[in-house]
Structures are given as C-alpha cells and as structure tokens.
Amino acid sequence: MPTRRHFLQTASVSPALAAAAAAQTRPRSPNDKIRFATIGVGIMGSGDTRTALATGLTELVAVADIYQGRLTRAQEVWGKQVVTTRDYRELLERPDIDAVIIATPDHLHARLAVDALNKGKDVYVEKPMVQKAADGHAVIEAARKNNRILQVGSQRVSSIIYAKAKELLAKGSIGEVNMIEAWYDRNSSMGAWQYTLPTDASPETVDWDKFIGSAPKRAFEPVRLFRWRNYQDYGTGVAGDLFVHLFSGIHFVIGSNGPTRIFGTGGLRFWKDGRDVPDVQVGLYDYPKTAKHGAFNMTLRTNFVSGGGGGQGFRFIGKEGILTIQGRGVSLSRTPGETEPGYMIETFAKATQERYLKDYRAKYPPQRATTASMPGTDLETYSAPRGYEDSLDHHRNFWEAVRSRKPVVEDATFGLRAAGPAVATNVSYFENRVVTWDPETMKEVS
C-alpha cells in the first residue's frame, strides 16, 4: 500500500502526540495493516471502529471526541496505546495515520471530510455525507484534487442482497419498473433517538464549542449533543438518518442518479421531547427516464410512532411482477398478464350487449376450468447465508480500496446523489414547497 508522509507541524500538535507520531514514522511494507483514526466514537463511530478492525486489514491508532467519557471508554475497549484527543485536527497532522472514520453529528461531516482529504487522508464518512446539499461539491472536489479514497457509510451498496436484486432487475425479471415503495420504521425509544445522557456531562467533560461548530451559538445543553439527531441545527432528521439509506439502496439497484421532483410531508406526532424534526415523514419523488431505466415514481416512509416493532423494505413494481427486498433476502413474484381482456357492458342496451358478447366469445371461446388454468404467480426467493453482515463487506471494500487505490462504489459523487434528495426532502417539508432537483449537477433548480 502506498504510504503518505507529511511533515509534523509540532507547533499545532501536543508534545505527547508529536512524540508518539515521531516514534511511528518508520518505513513499513505494503503488507502492514492500514493505520486509522476515528473521529467521533459515539454509537456509529464505535460500531464502525469495531467493524473496521474485524476486517483484519486495519490498526486503530487514535480517536478524537469532544466528550471525555468516550475517550476514556475508547482506551478501555481498544487499549491504552490508542491516542486520544478532543481536537480532530491533531489526528490529521499525524503521518502515521492513513485514513479516518468520520462519525460526528451531520453538520460537521463536510468540513471534517474536506480537512481530512486536504491532509492526504482517505476518508470513511458516515451517512448522510453532508447536512446541506450545497456542501457536497466541496467534498467531491477535495477527494478529486487530493486523489484520495472517500466512501460513505451506507452499507447497502456492498450487500450481496442488493447485488442480487440489481442482477434480477437488470435481467428484466419484472419488466420495466414504474413504481418503487420503500419504508424504514422504528417504533422504540432508542430507534427514535432517545439516547441515554451520561451523568457526568458538563462544560468540563465536553468541548461544547467544537460541537457547535458553524451551528447557531447557544449555552451548554447536553441533550442537544447526545440526542443531536432531534435537532435541525446538527442533524438531518428522518430523511438524513434513514431515507438516505433507502436512496442509496435504490440508486445502486436500479442504476439511477436521482429524482427531478421532491416533496416531503409528515409531522411531529408523538415525541414531545423538545425535538424540532418530524417523527413521521413521507417523501414523494419523480424519477426521469434514462438510458438505464424508464421513468418511475417513488414513495419513502418512516414512522417512529405506531406499534409493531418497526422494519424496513423495498418493493420494485414492474409491468410483469414485483421485486421485494426485506429482511435478509430478495423475493421475486411474476404475475402473468391477462389472457383475455375483461368487459363491463351492463349499462348498454340489451341488443348491444348480445352483439358484443357474440363477437367476444368468437374471439375468446370459453374454456372449462382445470387445475392447470388456475391463475398463479412465479415466486422466487434468495436469502443471504446465516450470519451475513453487509456492514463488514462495506468496510472491507473501503479498506481494500485504501490499499489498492481502486475506486469504491459509494464515492463522494454517489454520496451526494443520495444525500442531496434526502436533505431536499427536509427543505420541502420545512418550506412547504416542491423542490426541483437536477440529478446530474446535484443541485436544486431555482
């Protein structure tokens, strides 16, 4: 694997970090593990770190987080040798770090990704890639300019389940798709982002200013940090947390760059906890005809309110059948077309009815019903093997690309084409208007 060495700017790095970096700048072979750091070791950051290590391709060097408790926990889990800091910029100066995982609140994604790319680091950034669509172009340009690998953390593009669905659609198994329905429901407090607040959160244990970043300034309020998804200032609500997964999966399976018209609706129905984003949201989307697929419409839905335990899935509805992705597999049902047209003639005059029936029966003679003539469907099912985890494949794809320098599927452009329509759904909802979107330029059309 090509290595990257930069001069250590000790003026901006703590003495402990400088000493640790200097000790680890020895030359190493292409077979050495990829050294990485995680920025943000909350729920997703910790999970991403575990999965990255599970690939067997990596070594964790350092973590950054603005809450001291998570830095302490990182060393409890991964060892005292892991360097910790509240300032992610110190990690970017380290020449012994090849790549970073960015798992911060959404409003920090774009800035941190650009900073890391400009420092020569490869980047795995959690979805959505950006909080605001306009910020995505700077991420794309930074990855291109610095010739770095960037992958967005929406694992469906690496899943064998979605690859099978893509293969079936490409074969024309259900004919031309004209409608897609997708849903992602969560009906629990944790699913609705009611995350536990640490008892030791205080201005001493939290770097509040670094959390706020470019968001509106306000006094220390721990709930806004540890439940940041509930607030427009830092998160992207239902659309950025969950719709973006659906967009990623759909764009991968059908080979689309995105919709042209976007409408979002919904409301805040249940979680009266101070959040300012909806807990029920529906998105409606128009997709244009392209060389890869015909025009189709799409609905996305998320519900944090009703009972039933939640769940997620897709239905690709074509002229000749339905392809469903749900649970750990894909099902394909083909519905045979009608062998003869129906008729409705009861409102015609009796003589007209008789003439019509005579002509109809001459063209479609009545047949005696048999078991063979009973209508039915062809149903095929494909299931992933027991224990299969698409997140492991997704991380393996990224870390192998870091080593090989081969492109990834979910790069910055793919990431913006998923994040853009997702966050535009919020624009539609909050501004009460239809958003016109250009999927090629990845910009809102004014």
Q: Which of 126, 441, 439, 115 is nearest to 292 (CA)?
A: 439
Non-local CB neighbours of 206 within 8 Å, separated by 6+ positions: 66, 67, 68, 220, 222, 225
Q: What is the pLDDT of residue 27?
A: 43
**Rounded Cα–Cα distance for residues 395 and 410 (Å):** 11
- Are 35 and 127 contained in the same domain? yes
Bond into 288 cis (ω within 30): no
For residue 222, the SS3 value is helix
pLDDT of residue 19: 39
Indicate whether 189 and 112 sit together in one domain: no
Query: If we measure between CA atoms, which residue out of 255, 260, 202, 253 comes closest to residue 226?
Result: 202
Is residue 216 included in any domain, yes or no? yes
Sign of the dihedral through C-alpha 97, 99, 101, 107: positive
Instruction: Report the CATH number at residue 280.
Output: 3.30.360.10
Query: Is 165 in the same domain as 228?
Result: yes
Residue 373 resides in a domain? no
How many CB atoms within 10 Å of residue 339? 9
Please give the Cα distance from 161 to 164 (Å, whole number).
Answer: 5
pLDDT digits (tens, 9 = 90+) for 182-233: 999 998 899 999 999 999 999 999 999 999 999 999 999 999 999 999 999 9
On whether the CB atoms of residues 101 and 52 are closer than 8 A, the answer is yes
Same domain? 208 vs 218: yes
In a domain, 398, yes or no: no
- Please report the pLDDT score of residue 372 as a whole number: 67
Q: So what's the pLDDT on residue 26?
A: 40
Helix (H) or strand (E) run with residue 436 in it: strand 435-438
Q: Are residues 92 and 180 in the same domain?
A: no
pLDDT of residue 33: 95
Tell me: do 151 and 163 sit in the same domain: no
Q: Are residues 149 and 221 in the same domain?
A: no
So what's the pLDDT on residue 379?
85
Per-residue confidence (pLDDT) for residue 429, from 0 to 100: 98
pLDDT at 370: 77
- How far is it, in rounded angstroms, from Cα 266 to Cα 281? 4
pLDDT given for residue 24 in this prediction: 40
Establish if 40 belongs to a structural domain: yes
Structural domain contains residue 181: yes
Task: Point out the domain boundary residue: 157, 184, 201.
Answer: 157
The reply to whether 28 and 132 lie within a common domain is yes
| Domain final residue pick, 157, 175, 201 | 157
Within-domain flag for 347: no
Contact 187/306 with Cβ under 8 angstroms? yes
Tell me if 148 is assigned to some domain. yes
Say if residue 152 is in the same domain as residue 220: no
Q: DSSP string spanning 365-413?
A: ------GGGS---EEEEEEPPTT--HHHHHHHHHHHHHHH-PPPSS-HH
Distance CA 319, CA 295 (A): 13
Judge whether 340 lies within some domain: no
Task: Identify the pLDDT of residue 402.
Answer: 97
DSSP 76: H
Predicted local confidence at residue 91, as pLDDT: 97
Contact criterion met (CB below 8 Å) for 8 and 22 = yes
In sign, the C-alpha dihedral spanning 238, 239, 245, 246 is positive
Torsion angle (degrees, nearest 10) of CA 152, 154, 159, 165: -110
Query: For the chain, how many structural domains are there in total?
Result: 2
The pLDDT profile of the chain, 446 residues, written as one tens digit per residue, is 333 333 233 334 444 444 344 434 444 445 689 999 999 999 999 999 999 999 999 999 999 999 999 999 999 999 999 999 999 999 999 999 999 999 999 999 999 999 999 999 999 999 999 999 999 999 999 999 999 999 999 999 999 999 999 999 999 999 999 999 999 999 889 999 999 999 999 999 999 999 999 999 999 999 999 999 999 999 999 999 999 999 999 999 999 999 999 999 999 999 999 999 999 999 999 999 999 899 999 999 999 987 666 789 999 999 999 999 998 999 999 876 666 888 999 999 999 999 999 999 999 998 887 776 666 667 899 999 999 999 999 999 999 999 999 999 999 999 999 999 999 999 999 999 999 999 999 999 98
Strands (E), 50-194: 58-64, 83-85, 99-102, 122-126, 150-153, 177-185
Please name every residue paired with 171 in a beta bridge, in sequence order, or none if there are none. Answer: none
pLDDT at 23 (0 to 100): 38
Sheet with 177-185, edge to edge strand ranges: 378-383, 329-334, 321-326, 311-318, 177-185, 296-303, 280-287, 261-267, 435-438, 443-444
Q: In angstroms, what CA-CA distances link 368 with 343, 360, 378?
A: 19, 17, 23
Last residue of a domain, one of 130, 157, 184: 157
Residue ranges making up the domain that contains 42: 10-157
Predicted local confidence at residue 373, as pLDDT: 64
Residues 16 and 152 occupy one common structural domain: yes
Which residues share a beta bridge with 378?
334
The pair of three-digit structure tokens given for residue 68, joined into one six-digit string:
């001291």
Residues 133 and 169 in one domain: no
Please tell me whether residues 43 and 19 are part of one structural domain.
Answer: yes
Domain with 112 in it: what CATH number? 3.40.50.720
